[in-house]
A = this chain, B = another copy of it.
Amino acid sequence: MQKIDTKTKILNAAEQLFAERGFADTSLRLITSQAEVNLASVNYHFGSKKELIQAVLARYLDVFAPALESSLQALVDDEKRVDQIQVFNCLIEPLLALDSFKHQGTTVFLSLLGRGYVESQGHLRWYIMTHYGKVVGLFNHVVREANPHLSKEEIFWRLHFTLGSVVFTMASSKALIDIAKADFGADVDIEGLIHRVIPFIAAGVSSPAK
């Protein structure tokens, strides 16, 4: 049994509560009591609640962004022509890898991403663009190559529709999975959900322009 330091205990408790209840509805006292650390240690180690939120997100993005980048880079290096399915596969693997990085990591990461987008009034978008702008640009480039029939603008919107499908579903995944179990008796995990959403968004992104 290894000893977990205070900083990590805070991050672990915070990410779970943030994903489940959102940032505004999660108090530092709730976090520190679940983490079994002192209240003041959050400000000592992270400075403020806002910086704690960024640290929680950064812990995932620092794993996810490089994995996605190398995955995308390998695609553009190896393939002469890329299609949309290949682009999505680049996303799936780094996403599912988060589940071995942390328990329920994929769900937590996508929930945090969704909540960050709708709760932070654009702060998160700015944070991601300034810290991980390179991989975002690469992703955009690859999607453009895979969909030469679509304009930049059309791709911009369809990627946001895609992001909406994924993060909205993930942000409510706990409740939705419970409903699905009650109504259909079907057990769905996060991997099943991702493989369910792929045909949906692949068809949407690659649909002909109107």
> Are B204 and A172 in contact (CB-based, < 8 A)?
no
Known A-B contacts A24-B24, A153-B180, A186-B153; the reply to A161 vs B121 at CB < 8 A is: no
A119, closest chain B residue (CB): B22
Known A-B contacts A161-B165, A165-B164, A168-B167; the reply to A210 vs B204 at CB < 8 A is: no
Q: Within the assembled complex, what's the spacing in Å between the Cα atoms of A154 and B186?
A: 11
User: Is A88 close to B, CB under 8 A?
Assistant: no
> Are A199 and B195 in contact (CB-based, < 8 A)?
no
User: Is A40 close to B, CB under 8 A?
Assistant: no
In the complex, which range does the number of interface residues on chain A fall in?
35 or more
Q: Which of A82-123 contact B (CB under 8 A)?
A: 114-115, 117-119, 121-122
Pick the residue among B22, B125, B162 that contacts A175 (CB under 8 A).
B125
A197, closest chain B residue (CB): B161
Known A-B contacts A22-B118, A118-B118, A184-B152; the reply to A167 vs B169 at CB < 8 A is: no
A153, closest chain B residue (CB): B184
A189-210 vs B, CB cutoff 8 Å, 1 = contact: the mask equals 0000101110111111111111
Q: A117 contacts which chain B residues (CB < 8 A)? A: 168, 172
14 A-B pairs within 8 Å (CB atoms) are namely A114-B168, A117-B168, A125-B175, A156-B180, A157-B180, A157-B196, A157-B197, A161-B201, A167-B168, A168-B168, A196-B210, A199-B207, A203-B204, A203-B207
Which 4 pairs show the lowest CB-CB distances between chains A and B? Answer: A164-B168, A203-B207, A24-B24, A200-B204
